[in-house]
Amino acid sequence: MEAHFITGTGTDIGKTWLACALLRHWRAEGRRPAAIKPVLSGFDPLQPQASDAGALLAALGRDAGPAGLDAIAPWRFAAALSPDMAAAREGRRIDFDDLVAFTRRVVAAPQRPLLVEGVGGVMAPLDATHTVRDWIAASGLPCILVAGSYLGSLSHTLTALAALAEVGAGVTAIAVNESPDSTVALDATLETLSHHAPGIPRVAILRASPRAGVARLAGLLS
């Protein structure tokens, strides 16, 4: 299946960066990928290009005008908070069923490869009763789980995998995005994951030379 939900062990782990790298990789191969980032917090309407949606649109070769933003990121909130809190700040709430319906409509369209970027980590709250995990399960998409190589990432990664397994969400690959200044060797992180998460492909994304990892991940997604 060439449609994936890109989630992570937490915020700022590299979901958008990796999604953009994959989109650029596919475009360089002459393909026409699609991507959405339906829920965006910390959005500044004066600087749409600085948002995740702006980055994804740039990687798709589209501009971050209102039409592009509305098409890929309809739920935009100003506060850089979890989605439930960011929505509440504006007297709004995310209607989970609407979010799932929007996602399913995009998945039903034929354009591939498709990436759906979540928000925050696997268990980030969307409203009072739903988290990103529920959205992943309802979307029916397998995931790419973006993790880091920092000290502590193994527990975060295995916790995220356990949470996803509980709702039957598939994980196509764990992308271990090298954490800057980590005291832990990336290879050691991959080795430990091979014991604790056997059967799930692991891909290292090296800061200094990310292209090989991005290409390998793209291969696993096709």
Ligand X SMILES: Nc1ncnc2c1ncn2[C@@H]1O[C@H](COP(=O)(O)OP(=O)(O)O)[C@@H](O)[C@H]1O
Active site residue ranges: 37
Q: How far is the CB of 6 from ligand X (least distance, A)?
A: 8
156 binds, among Mg ion, ligand X, none (CB under 5 to 8 A by kind): none
Q: How far is the CB of 205 from ligand X (least distance, A)?
A: 5
CA distances from 76 to 24, 98, 115, 141 (A): 24, 14, 18, 22
**Can residue 38 be called a binding residue for ligand X (CB under 6 A)?**
no
**Can residue 15 be called a binding residue for Mg ion (CB under 5 A)?**
yes
Pick one of 16, 131, 139, 153: the residue that binds Mg ion (CB under 5 A). 16
Nearer residue to ligand X within complex by CB, 49 or 109: 49
Pick one of 1, 11, 123, 182: the residue that binds ligand X (CB under 6 A). 11
| Interface of this chain with ligand X, residues 48 to 67, rule: CB under 6 A | 52
Instruction: Give yes or no for a contact between 84 and 76, defined as CB atoms under 8 angstroms apart.
Output: no
9 binds, among Mg ion, ligand X, none (CB under 5 to 8 A by kind): none
Q: How far is the CB of 9 from Mg ion (least distance, A)?
A: 13
The alpha carbon of residue 179 and the mean position of all alpha carbons in its chain are separated, in whole angstroms, by 17
Q: Which stretch binds ligand X (CB under 6 A): 11-19, 63-71, 96-104, 122-130?
A: 11-19
Provide the residue type at 83 as one letter: P
The alpha carbon of residue 125 and the mean position of all alpha carbons in its chain are separated, in whole angstroms, by 15
Q: Which stretch binds Mg ion (CB under 5 A): 7-15, 150-158, 172-180, 197-205?
A: 7-15
Nearer residue to ligand X within complex by CB, 172 or 177: 177
13 binds, among ligand X, Mg ion, none (CB under 5 to 8 A by kind): ligand X
| Interface of this chain with ligand X, residues 123 to 152, rule: CB under 6 A | none
Which residues of the chain form contacts with ligand X (CB under 6 A)? Answer: 8, 11-17, 52, 177, 205, 207, 210
Which residues of the chain form contacts with Mg ion (CB under 5 A)? Answer: 15-16, 52
